[in-house]
Amino acid sequence: MQYSPNELLICLAARMMEDNSTAFIGTGIPMLAASLAQKLYSPNLVPVFEFGGTGAILEKLPLAVGDMRTFNKALHASGICDIMETAQRGIIEYGFLGGAQIDCYGNLNSTVIGSQSKPKVRLPGSGGANDVGSHCWKTIILMQHDTRRFMPKIDFVTTPGFLTGPGAREKAGLPKETGPYRVVTTLAVMDFEPKSKRMRLIATNPGVTVGDVVKNTGFELLMAEKIQRNEPPQEKELHALRDEIDKDRLYI
């Protein structure tokens, strides 16, 4: 079956959501991935939303993190301060984020393109992204993949990855065990090499070569010993996405 780059991103992210885990979910593609995961792979997934919904059953697609659907049949309804404190206490396992720019250490920019004093573009800003990247145990980043986004030096650090390399998160006062876990893109999936903390290619998407990934990355990627090939979206995944989750085609 034919599928779009966004549909592939959603499916790859949904497969990463473990059953019985907690996951901080942002607006857009992470919401679709969480909905798909609950339907097909992780029925006991506990999605956490910035404005207070915890453990909602995503029967209908929320339009934003404060949408009433993020409280649907939820385990708990609170507010933004409680949710951020929950992350700080180390209770939320996964965080799903996006960004306009990323560097080799997984630092994300969602604030500004160009200088702060004379920006080319003003972006939405952090919202809860800094808290998610700082305190969730494993951050999974979902992005389009090209050299405008994968840069040797980003214009602004909105969300910390491994900052400047090994030991930098700890020096900044962040928990040692936290940090970027995976980068899922329209071309590939990357992890972070444990010693250097640099981004490493571990799998390519269908029809994509290692050369394609390298050409579209603005810094040197490390390479896994064996680079896997990601499976394309399955018919059941596309059916759930198109006919149940996003029938109005808001995202796909």
Residue 82 resides in a domain: yes
**Structural domain boundaries, residue 175:** 5-245
Residue 251 resides in a domain: no
Residue 250 resides in a domain: no
Phi, psi values for residue 75, rounded to 5°: -75, -30
Torsion of CA 179, 17, 27, 235, to 10 degrees: 140
Within the chain, strands assigned E span: 22-24, 46-48, 53-54, 76-77, 94-97, 101-102, 108-109, 112-114, 119-122, 138-143, 180-185, 188-192, 199-204, 222-229
**Residue 93: CA atoms inside 13 Å, Cβ hemisphere, count?**
11
Read off the CATH number of the domain in which 131 is found. Answer: 3.40.1080.10
CB 133 within 8 A of CB 107: no
Per-position pLDDT tens, the chain of length 252: 899 999 999 999 999 999 999 999 988 889 999 999 999 999 999 999 999 999 999 988 988 888 899 999 999 999 999 999 999 999 999 999 989 999 999 999 999 999 888 888 888 888 889 999 999 999 999 999 999 999 999 999 999 999 999 999 999 999 888 999 999 999 999 999 999 999 999 999 999 999 999 999 999 999 999 999 999 999 999 999 999 999 888 777
Four-residue CA torsion sign, 189, 102, 35, 175? positive
Annotated catalytic residue: which of 50, 93, 231, 235?
A: 50
Alpha helices in 104-228 (DSSP H): 129-135, 168-171, 210-215
Residue 252 resides in a domain: no
Residue 26 resides in a domain: yes
Task: Lay out the sheet containing 76-77: strands in order across.
Answer: 76-77, 53-54, 46-48, 22-24, 94-97, 138-143, 180-185, 188-192, 199-204, 222-229
Distances (CA, A) of 52 to 68, 76, 134: 10, 8, 19
Domain count, the chain: 1
pLDDT score at 40: 97
Q: What is the spatial distance between Cα 164 and Cα 219, in angstroms, rounded to a whole number? A: 14
Q: What is the spatial distance between Cα 77 and Cα 27, in angstroms, rounded to a whole number? A: 18
Phi, psi values for residue 26, rounded to 5°: -95, 175
Selection from 47, 34, 49 nearest residue 82 by Cα: 49
Q: What is the spatial distance between Cα 252 and Cα 241, in angstroms, rounded to a whole number? A: 8
Q: Specify the residue for token string 């603005």.
A: 218
Q: What is the spatial distance between Cα 238 and Cα 223, in angstroms, rounded to a whole number? A: 31
Q: What is the spatial distance between Cα 134 and Cα 178, in angstroms, rounded to a whole number? A: 7
CB 65 within 8 A of CB 49: yes
pLDDT score at 66: 84
Residue 214 resides in a domain: yes
50: annotated active-site residue: yes
Distances (CA, A) of 18 to 13, 213, 240: 10, 27, 18
Residue 21 resides in a domain: yes
Q: What is the spatial distance between Cα 217 and Cα 237, in angstroms, rounded to a whole number? A: 29
